[in-house]
């Protein structure tokens, strides 16, 4: 019967970006995470340093949207969250919707709540780790004590 046992729960890093915090959507976003059945392991409101954001977005360094992305992410507080649950990495990406809020599906955070501001960087409300390796790296960056 071993094929019926659940895989171990995963953890992911979620960020409610400065646009989400400024628009008062942090509670609504956390509500959706909890309503899906994921547990909150850590939650912290903080304004990220350029150093932390540079490490977090290292894979995008050199891309045209990288400088405005780091500037935007440092422009105000973000809500950093570690959430836990079965397949939470994939599950939160599904809750968030695709990167561009204008084409994100209705029912998703970005599709329901995201706006297209016509800016150099997509102000798309949330970040979610995209793989177990990214999740481990990002959780260690944002919550080194975990
Ligand atoms: P994701 O957040 O949906 O995983 P990534 O490709 O990892 O998307 O990009 C990180 C962030 O960089 C996006 O959430 C968005 O804010 C911004 N971004 C990505 N691609 C573009 C682009 O082509 N133009 C403007 N901003 C972008």
- Weakly modelled stretches of the chain, pLDDT under 70: 1-3
The whole-model pTM stands at 0.95
User: 127 catalytic, yes or no?
Assistant: yes
Whether the Cβ atoms of residue 82 and residue 12 lie closer than 8 Å to each other: yes
Active-site residue identified among 10, 48, 127, 138: 127
Rounded to two decimals, the ipTM of the complex is 0.97
- With a 6 Å cutoff on the Cβ, whether 102 touches ligand 1 is no
Domains of the chain: 28-142 (3.30.70.141)
């Amino acid at each position: 019967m071993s094929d019926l046992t659940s895989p171990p729960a995963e953890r992911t890093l979620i960020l409610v970006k400065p646009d989400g915090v400024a628009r008062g959507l942090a509670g609504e976003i956390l509500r959706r995470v909890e309503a899906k059945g994921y547990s909150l392991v850590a939650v912290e409101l903080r304004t990220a340093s350029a150093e932390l954001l540079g490490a977090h977005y290292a894979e995008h360094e050199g891309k045209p949207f990288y400088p405005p992305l780091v500037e935007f992410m440092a422009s105000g507080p973000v809500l950093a969250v570690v959430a836990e649950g079965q397949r939470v990495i994939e599950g939160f990406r599904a809750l968030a919707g695709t990167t561009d809020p204008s084409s994100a599906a209705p029912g998703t955070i970005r599709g329901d709540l995201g706006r297209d501001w016509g800016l150099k960087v997509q102000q798309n409300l949330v970040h979610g780790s995209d793989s177990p390796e990214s999740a481990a790296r990002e959780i260690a960056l944002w919550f080194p004590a975990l």
